[in-house]
Amino acid sequence: MAEGSVGTPAKTEEIRIRDPFWDRYQELVRKAVIPYQWEALNDRIPGAEPSRAIRNFRIAAGLEEGEFGGMVFQDSDLAKWLEAVGYSLAAFPDPELERIADEAIELVAKAQRADGYLNTYFTVKEPGKEWTNLHEAHELYCAGHMIEAAVAYYAGTGKRKLLDVACKLADHIDSVFGREEGKIRGYDGHQEIELALVKLYQTTGEERYLNLAKFFIDERGQQPNFFVCECERREGYSHWAQKKLPIPTVEQLAYNQAHKPVREQDQAVGHSVRAVYMYAAMADLARLTGDGELLAACRRLWDNMTNKQMYVTGGIGSTHHGEAFTFDYDLPNDTVYAETCASIGLIFFARRMLQLEAKGEYADVMERALYNNVIGSMSQDGKRYFYVNPLEVWPEASERNPGKHHVKAVRQPWFGCSCCPPNVARLLGSLNDYVYTASSENNAVYVHLFIGSEARFDLPSGPVAFTQQSDLPWEGRVRFELTSVPTGGFALALRIPSWCRGQASLSINGADAAFETADGYAVIRRTWAPGDVVEWKPRLEAELVASRPEIRANAGKAAIQRGPLVYCFEEADNGSLLPALSIVRGTKLDARSDGSLPGGAVVVEAAGRREEGTWESDTPYRPLADRPAYADVRLKAIPYYLWNNREAGEMAVWLRIAEPQV
């Protein structure tokens, strides 16, 4: 296999997160997010837009009269919630939650038709129109989410009810789609079913599901274009426009990544969530089918996306028009999109690339997106969310400049299109799946994230168990204690995070130890004894970061990063008019604990300047003074993920650089 390849994954027995930083989030998901979202799904959040998701299922199940409500993909909100519940029950048994979820599953099963079809929009509102508008109507997308929910719920509870629903649904889809005569040779407008079918294959062993996923991926973007043909069959009628529209152009097809075959794509384009969900499935298939061409496409798309179209916070998608990618290095901080779901999908993709090949860069990006864009999207009480995650906010502009209306200055309670909140819940609830990969081929366990946990694996050399204790994200100290080791030894591969800039020290049982590095990992291959302790200290210090000059929005600016955390400046700490501030190049960055922030956090203080200069008159423009006029100020930055957890106000990740005075 290629260098860095991890080959067939070893069976992972169990990973349990036990971590001071992440336990809070796990608890938040369990105690706040899941119950809150259940209320939301049942339209019981005062002041928030009603979800109508449960009600749609009740109507489809014949239990209630009424009209379909919400988006055409509203079903997926319940599915994502059930998936999150599945993860939660796996880690924290909760009979009352399980009872509620079982009832919801009963409802879903009742809403499924005898032939396996399951979608409340078409069942309630457009019966007879099933599978006639894949381009716009999200049927396969909703099916995918229900399949993911079923897999998670089965894994978490051992209960098959929803898994049976999912298999029946997948079987139905398999009977409708394919290259055989009489079947639809098409694919979904919003990718999601592909990665879900892979999961269903992995849970059930049924190869038809894998083949169906491969079919959808392989067909995408082929000529004649399915969406074009489908649009002609619909005579151009658009669900969203509620009228006839022209046949989609190649540019419009790029929105759905259907402009050319996936193996020929090398630029991240179009709707960013669709893109990363598809890339994740491509990576799955590359691994499971040994498809080198698909792997090459995944690598190209990864490189383009993460090197040229990703914000420092791990956000992707720089325009709200179509929630989409634009082009290389176009990363405006203020008109940004950086949707929460897109970063979650980026993490899905990263994880699957790590299953293909253990390269630190995948985990670096995964960590960046997780610790910044993703957890920053949720308020610290778990009840409010950002859909758009800006790097620069001027609240008045968000309110009064229509080009920034999409950039909310405060988190919102729920959304008409509420894909993000349940997506956060399911990611955080399954975070244990992202910490490690175990490789049978290499007889190794790779540690990608430094998140305290208890882990057990079955390696070819035998079972392995250890605990990880981590002081991240606050300090660069990680400790592994092996509790069960195979006699034949195994390799423990610790990620060398990019933020330690190559400075990391290792000790084994208290003695400094050298290590080999491979693709961003410190590989310790030896025969272990129970009780062995490995200490790993990647340098974790606040630093100023710059971005490539091609990223014009950040020209002459710097941001603060400390370990995995990107920092930001808020009006609450630094006063208003943040653009008048600059940060002094080479400033000492003082990190200190600040217990007043929600959950406690390390803040960073730095030397800065605030432009001054009296403007006696009202004139907006005047001669530039020969000398700069500024006051020395002490800047205070807080972790980006904590922004807008105090009063609403301005926020900026990037500040102008001031050169130190000689």
Q: In what order do the strands lie in the sheet with 533-538?
A: 11-17, 453-459, 462-470, 478-484, 533-538, 504-508, 511-513
CB of 555 to a copy of itself, least distance (A): 4
Query: In this complex, which beta carbon is closest to a copy of itself, that of residue 291 or of residue 323?
Result: 323
Among 318, 437, 439, 644, binds a copy of itself (CB under 8 A): 318
Among 66, 586, 598, 600, binds a copy of itself (CB under 8 A): 586
Instruction: Kindly state whether residue 562 participates in binding a copy of itself, applying the rule CB under 8 A.
Output: no
d(CA 253, CA 328): 19
d(CA 598, CA 576): 22
> Looking up tokens 């020395």, which residue turns up?
632
4, exposed or middle or buried, with CB in 10 Å at 0-12, 13-18, 19+?
middle
Q: Can you give the length of the chain in residues?
A: 662
Among 154, 349, 394, 640, binds a copy of itself (CB under 8 A): 394
| Residues numbered 320-359 forming contacts with a copy of itself, rule: CB under 8 A | 320-322, 326-327, 329-330, 332, 335
* Phi and psi angles of residue 218, each rounded to the nearest 5 degrees, phi first: -70, -35
Among 290, 292, 403, 488, binds a copy of itself (CB under 8 A): 403
Instruction: Kindly state whether residue 550 participates in binding a copy of itself, applying the rule CB under 8 A.
Output: yes
d(CA 340, CA 372): 10
Work out whether the CA dihedral 420, 422, 424, 426 comes out positive or negative.
negative
Query: In this complex, which beta carbon is closest to a copy of itself, that of residue 274 or of residue 656?
Result: 656
Residue among 98, 192, 323, 650 flagged as catalytic: 323
Contact window for a copy of itself (CB under 8 A) among 33-41, 142-150, 318-326, 595-603: 318-326
Report strand pairing: 557-562 vs 565-570. antiparallel
Annotated catalytic residue 231: no
The SS3 assignment for 524 reads strand
Please, how many CA atoms are within 13 Å of residue 328, restricted to the half-sphere of its CB? Answer: 11
Query: In this complex, which beta carbon is closest to a copy of itself, that of residue 295 or of residue 544?
Result: 544
Instruction: Kindly state whether residue 504 participates in binding a copy of itself, applying the rule CB under 8 A.
Output: no
Give the interface size with a copy of itself as a residue count (CB under 8 A).
Answer: 67
CB of 101 to a copy of itself, least distance (A): 40
CB atoms inside a 10 Å sphere around CB 222: 14
Residue among 298, 419, 420, 568 flagged as catalytic: 419
Instruction: Kindly state whether residue 597 participates in binding a copy of itself, applying the rule CB under 8 A.
Output: no
| Residues numbered 515-544 forming contacts with a copy of itself, rule: CB under 8 A | 543-544
Q: Which amino acid is at 80?
A: K
Query: In this complex, which beta carbon is closest to a copy of itself, that of residue 529 or of residue 625?
Result: 625
Instruction: Kindly state whether residue 548 participates in binding a copy of itself, applying the rule CB under 8 A.
Output: yes
CB of 625 to a copy of itself, least distance (A): 7
CB of 606 to a copy of itself, least distance (A): 12
Instruction: Kindly state whether residue 556 participates in binding a copy of itself, applying the rule CB under 8 A.
Output: yes
Instruction: Kindly state whether residue 400 participates in binding a copy of itself, applying the rule CB under 8 A.
Output: yes
CB of 240 to a copy of itself, least distance (A): 15
Please, how many CA atoms are within 13 Å of residue 123, restricted to the half-sphere of its CB? Answer: 25
CB of 605 to a copy of itself, least distance (A): 17
* Phi and psi angles of residue 61, each rounded to the nearest 5 degrees, phi first: -80, -5
Instruction: Kindly state whether residue 408 participates in binding a copy of itself, applying the rule CB under 8 A.
Output: no
Instruction: Kindly state whether residue 580 participates in binding a copy of itself, applying the rule CB under 8 A.
Output: yes
Among 128, 224, 402, 510, binds a copy of itself (CB under 8 A): 402
Instruction: Kindly state whether residue 596 participates in binding a copy of itself, applying the rule CB under 8 A.
Output: no
Alpha helix positions (H), 49-114: 53-60, 75-91, 95-111
Nearest to 347 by CA among 290, 387, 306: 306
Element (H, E) at 283: helix 272-289
Query: In this complex, which beta carbon is closest to a copy of itself, that of residue 92 or of residue 329?
Result: 329
Query: In this complex, which beta carbon is closest to a copy of itself, that of residue 188 or of residue 364?
Result: 364
Please, how many CA atoms are within 13 Å of residue 622, restricted to the half-sphere of its CB? Answer: 10
The SS3 assignment for 660 reads coil
Annotated catalytic residue 298: no
Query: In this complex, which beta carbon is closest to a copy of itself, that of residue 92 or of residue 237?
Result: 237
Nearest to 233 by CA among 185, 174, 270: 185
CB of 166 to a copy of itself, least distance (A): 37
CB of 120 to a copy of itself, least distance (A): 28
Contact window for a copy of itself (CB under 8 A) among 34-42, 145-153, 305-313, 600-608: 305-313
Among 244, 600, 613, 632, binds a copy of itself (CB under 8 A): 613
Report strand pairing: 237-238 vs 243-244. antiparallel
Among 44, 501, 526, 634, binds a copy of itself (CB under 8 A): 501
Instruction: Kindly state whether residue 249 participates in binding a copy of itself, applying the rule CB under 8 A.
Output: no
Contact 567, 653 (CB under 8 A): yes
Query: In this complex, which beta carbon is closest to a copy of itself, that of residue 523 or of residue 545?
Result: 545
Q: What radius of gyration, in Å, describes the C-alpha atoms of the chain?
A: 25
Q: What is the DSSP letter of 117?
A: -
Distances (CA, A) of 405 to 30, 269, 320, 331, 392: 32, 23, 10, 18, 13
Query: In this complex, which beta carbon is closest to a copy of itself, that of residue 183 or of residue 501?
Result: 501
Among 8, 175, 249, 307, binds a copy of itself (CB under 8 A): 307
CB of 254 to a copy of itself, least distance (A): 11
Contact 457, 503 (CB under 8 A): no
Element (H, E) at 399: helix 395-400
The SS3 assignment for 549 reads coil
Query: In this complex, which beta carbon is closest to a copy of itself, that of residue 108 or of residue 310?
Result: 310
Query: In this complex, which beta carbon is closest to a copy of itself, that of residue 210 or of residue 273?
Result: 273
d(CA 547, CA 361): 17
d(CA 570, CA 558): 15
CB of 21 to a copy of itself, least distance (A): 23
Query: In this complex, which beta carbon is closest to a copy of itself, that of residue 95 or of residue 402?
Result: 402
Instruction: Kindly state whether residue 233 participates in binding a copy of itself, applying the rule CB under 8 A.
Output: no
Q: What is the DSSP letter of 388?
A: B
CB of 660 to a copy of itself, least distance (A): 9
d(CA 428, CA 33): 10
> Looking up tokens 């294959």, which residue turns up?
201
| Residues numbered 614-653 forming contacts with a copy of itself, rule: CB under 8 A | 615, 618-628
Tokens of 590: 């003082």
- Give residues in contact with a copy of itself (CB under 8 A): 303, 306-308, 310, 312, 318-322, 326-327, 329-330, 332, 335, 394, 396-397, 400-403, 498, 501, 543-552, 555-556, 558-559, 561, 577, 579-580, 582, 585-586, 611, 613, 615, 618-628, 656-659, 661-662
Active-site residue set = 323, 419
